[in-house]
A = this chain, B = another copy of it.
Amino acid sequence: MTFEITSEFLENLSKLIELKKNKAIEKLFEEVHYADIAEVLDEVNFDEAIYIIKLLDSEKTSEILTELDEDTRTRILENLSAQEIAEEISEMDTDDAADIIAELSEERQKNVINALEDIEHAADIKELLSYKDNTAGALMAKELVKVYETWTVAGCLRRIRGQAKDVSRVHSIYVVDKKEKLVGRLSLKDLIVAKNDQKIADIYISAVDSVNVNEDDEEVAKIMSKYDLEAIPVVDDNNVLLGRITIDDIVDVLKEEADRDYQLAAGLTQDVDSDDSILDLTKARLPWLFLGLVGGVGAFLIMEGFQGVFAKYAALFFFTPLIAAMAGNVGVQSSAIIVQGLANDEVKGSINSRLLKEMLLATLNGVILALFLFVFVWLYEGKVNTALAIAVSLVVVIIMAGLIGTFVPLFLDKRGIDPAIATGPFITTSNDIFGILIYFLIAKLILGI
């Protein structure tokens, strides 16, 4: 079942395109899944991609377009007329259609929508475009199978045959009243098992989960994965059925969310992948590095302030990278645990109890690590005082780093800010500076300098 893009395949394809052997190209792609064709198009050169898109029929190319890498798709769409794009769009489900139209300039959006032949499809797409990004409305599709509670099973089966043709997958049949308000659901299974003359009103299940059209998409993802739902109906404030969201869209939301958290933790400000241009990658990386530079200058100023101590206690200075690394690592660990807990709704109880727990944890880790460091410095330098000062400072720095790492994401979350930005470079940089400052202050105190 798996299709591998080989260099022979690509060479063969190039040759066929050069010779304009259209029949052979169509045959080559006949048995290939559209997701695989999309990968081929990401590999071939741009003119070849355009050639293939224009050659294959729109039933196939519409699916391919939805699977393409956004950069490639943008360039291809720029080379198609509004009429050609409308042809592709008319083959797509409303949610995919709206996503792709949203990538066009406002003027082209209008032209493409006007070029759509199916007026209802056009109205649905317009409606979807009107919802805010990252809401249930922006995620949902208008395609669904809907029956009225007054229908009979037989009438229902007859009528949904028509509706079902437009819906690629029937998860649930939604039951509405005369005012189009959602009252319940049915599965195809229930319908098959029921007798022909039964009324829908007698067999539908009235317990139906739904989400409001303005609900945040990450919240929808949480609800669907918590309750193991494969589709969820979307309603407006009056409970009127507007559309439905399916689990495959949720998989994409979850992936994006995980990718973003991971990138923030790694110090990347925007969604980039390894194939992006050097300029895009620099834009994503440089701001965090600049933050690190500022932090490093801060550490420099602190150390310079203590330079009088160097003559007698040079070792103190040589351990600053260790102190900074520990403060950074502990901070990232504790913030990551909190960020993940918040994402999974697992963080309960007060901030104070969290901070207390982190303090105990950091003390335990800190004491164990400090013991090792104490023994090393004592044996290596032969000065028990210096060893003690460094070890005690390390414990305090680790506790402080743990508390900052725990507090900052909790605080941001309370303020309604995404706590994920607190992980990574932000925490490491602030902990570097605080850590080194506290380290010198405590060491000075213990050594009586």
* A249-293 Cβ-contact flags toward B at 8 Å (1 or 0): 011001100110111011110001111001001100110111011
Whether the Cβ atoms of B341 and A274 lie closer than 8 Å is: yes
Q: Which residues of B are found within 8 Å of A97, using beta-carbon distances?
A: none
Whether the Cβ atoms of A346 and B209 lie closer than 8 Å is: no
Residue A303 is within 8 A (CB to CB) of chain B in the complex? yes
Q: Which residues of B are found within 8 Å of A321, using beta-carbon distances?
A: 296, 299-300, 303, 320-321, 324, 432, 436
Q: Which of A222-249 contact B (CB under 8 A)?
A: 223, 225-228, 230, 247-248
Closest to A336 in B: B266
Q: How many copies does the complex hold?
A: 2
Residue A419 is within 8 A (CB to CB) of chain B in the complex? no
Nearest CB of chain B from residue A372's CB, rounded to whole Å: 6
Closest to A360 in B: B278
* A173-197 Cβ-contact flags toward B at 8 Å (1 or 0): 0000000000000011100110000
Q: Which residues of B are found within 8 Å of A281, using beta-carbon distances?
A: 337, 361
Whether the Cβ atoms of B428 and A329 lie closer than 8 Å is: yes
Whether the Cβ atoms of A247 and B251 lie closer than 8 Å is: yes
In the complex, what distance in Å separates the CA atom of A35 from the CA atom of B307? 60
> How many chain-A residues does the 8 Å CB contact rule pick out?
109
Out of B207, B230, B274, B326, name the residue touching A248 (CB < 8 Å).
B230
Out of B247, B319, B337, name the residue touching A300 (CB < 8 Å).
B319
Whether the Cβ atoms of A326 and B293 lie closer than 8 Å is: yes
Would A251 and B248 be within 8 Å (CB), given that A328-B428, A432-B321 are in contact? no
In the complex, what distance in Å separates the CA atom of A328 from the CA atom of B295? 13
Nearest CB of chain B from residue A272's CB, rounded to whole Å: 7
Whether the Cβ atoms of A274 and B337 lie closer than 8 Å is: yes
Q: Which residues of B are found within 8 Å of A344, using beta-carbon distances?
A: 273
Would A296 and B314 be within 8 Å (CB), given that A263-B336, A336-B266 are in contact? no
Whether the Cβ atoms of A295 and B209 lie closer than 8 Å is: no
Nearest CB of chain B from residue A117's CB, rounded to whole Å: 25
Would A333 and B255 be within 8 Å (CB), given that A325-B296, A325-B428 are in contact? no
Out of B230, B297, B346, name the residue touching A247 (CB < 8 Å).
B230
Whether the Cβ atoms of B317 and A303 lie closer than 8 Å is: yes
Residue A201 is within 8 A (CB to CB) of chain B in the complex? no
Whether the Cβ atoms of A318 and B333 lie closer than 8 Å is: no
Q: Which residues of B are found within 8 Å of A251, using beta-carbon distances?
A: 225, 247, 250-251, 254
Whether the Cβ atoms of A1 and B209 lie closer than 8 Å is: yes
Closest to A376 in B: B297
Would A272 and B325 be within 8 Å (CB), given that A161-B193, A289-B330 are in contact? no
Q: Which residues of B are found within 8 Å of A77, using beta-carbon distances?
A: none
Q: Which residues of B are found within 8 Å of A348, using beta-carbon distances?
A: 43, 275
Residue A135 is within 8 A (CB to CB) of chain B in the complex? no
Would A278 and B230 be within 8 Å (CB), given that A293-B372, A296-B322, A336-B263 are in contact? no
Nearest CB of chain B from residue A116's CB, rounded to whole Å: 24
Residue A354 is within 8 A (CB to CB) of chain B in the complex? yes
Out of B161, B285, B322, name the residue touching A192 (CB < 8 Å).
B161
The 4 lowest CB-CB distance pairs between A and B, nearest first, are A296-B322, A266-B336, A258-B258, A274-B341
Chain A interface (Cβ within 8 Å of chain B)?
Answer: 1-2, 31, 33, 35, 43, 157, 160-161, 164, 169-170, 187-189, 192-193, 207, 209-210, 223, 225-228, 230, 247-248, 250-251, 254-255, 258-259, 261-263, 265-268, 272-275, 278, 281-282, 285-286, 288-290, 292-293, 295-297, 299-300, 303-304, 307, 310, 314-315, 317-326, 328-330, 332-333, 335-338, 340-341, 344, 346-348, 354, 357, 360-361, 364-365, 368-369, 372-373, 376, 423-425, 428-429, 432, 436
